[in-house]
């Protein structure tokens, strides 16, 4: 199958809409704040009152939770619709951030750690796998390579900007971090609801 040129992709409103939907799917990990916590987790938990050693141990648990949730992903990925699943994942993350902030206000470090780990479970159960699966399901064959390259470039730029922004946000404390990422997770929910098509068990023709 011959790939269409970039000019045809960007001049077509339908193909631009497809690129936008793929970009939104890929932005889930960044908008939810997970990418920032992955990079700056030790500093975050240290700000939350844990020692450096305890913060490092929590980050080990962080990646262990990701690994353990990844293993059974296949049990629900093809049984639950893409849109409901990513909605549940983002709602789980946003709720976990709110409860972690409450735990911080109450000076309960275990509550902060527990709900941050629950946000990781929600992320890995829905947001992360769908960020990879949905673009492949959405992109037509005649623009899959160029479409993936365009979306990857956009996502990379956004990710770099986020990782530059987080240290500035971190200066304002734990509540500011959790508040901003709760807000951006909510933005992700709105964008997913508005722009992402349901792709489970549907042909490309139906999706388009």
Task: Indicate if the pLDDT at residue 144 is higher than 90.
Answer: no
d(CA 101, CA 175): 6
What mean pLDDT, rounded, does the chain reach? 88
Task: Indicate if the pLDDT at residue 130 is higher than 80.
Answer: yes
Task: Indicate if the pLDDT at residue 204 is higher than 50.
Answer: no
At 56-71, the pLDDT tens digits run 999 999 999 999 998 8
Structure tokens at 181: 């990422």
Does 73 or 140 have the greater pLDDT score?
140
Which sign does the torsion angle of CA 90, 119, 30, 104 carry? Answer: positive
Percentage of the chain lying above the pLDDT 70 cut: 95
Whether residue 196 contacts residue 24, with contact meaning beta carbons closer than 8 Å, is answered with: yes
d(CA 143, CA 87): 27
At 12-63, the pLDDT tens digits run 998 888 888 888 888 888 889 998 999 999 999 999 999 999 999 999 999 9
Task: Indicate if the pLDDT at residue 159 is higher than 90.
Answer: no
CB atoms within 10 A of CB 78: 11
């Amino acid at each position: 199958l011959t790939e269409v040129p970039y000019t045809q992709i960007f001049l077509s409103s339908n193909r631009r809409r497809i690129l936008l939907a793929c970009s939104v799917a890929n932005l889930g990990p960044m908008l939810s704040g997970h990418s920032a916590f992955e990079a700056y987790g030790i500093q975050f938990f240290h700000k939350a009152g844990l020692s450096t050693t305890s913060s490092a141990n929590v980050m080990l648990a962080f990646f262990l939770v990701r690994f353990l949730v990844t293993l059974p992903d296949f049990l629900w990925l093809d049984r639950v619709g893409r849109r409901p699943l990513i909605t549940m994942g983002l709602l789980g993350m946003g709720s976990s951030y709110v409860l972690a902030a409450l735990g911080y206000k109450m000076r309960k470090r275990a509550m902060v750690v527990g709900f941050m780990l629950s946000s990781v479970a929600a992320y890995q159960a829905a947001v992360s796998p769908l960020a990879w699966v949905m673009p492949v399901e959405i992109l037509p064959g005649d623009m899959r390579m160029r479409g993936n390259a365009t979306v990857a470039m956009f996502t990379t730029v956004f990710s770099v900007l986020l990782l530059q922004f987080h240290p500035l946000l971190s200066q304002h404390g734990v509540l500011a971090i959790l508040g901003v990422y709760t807000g951006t997770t909510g933005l992700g929910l709105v964008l997913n609801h508005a722009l992402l098509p349901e792709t489970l068990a549907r042909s490309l023709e139906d999706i388009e």
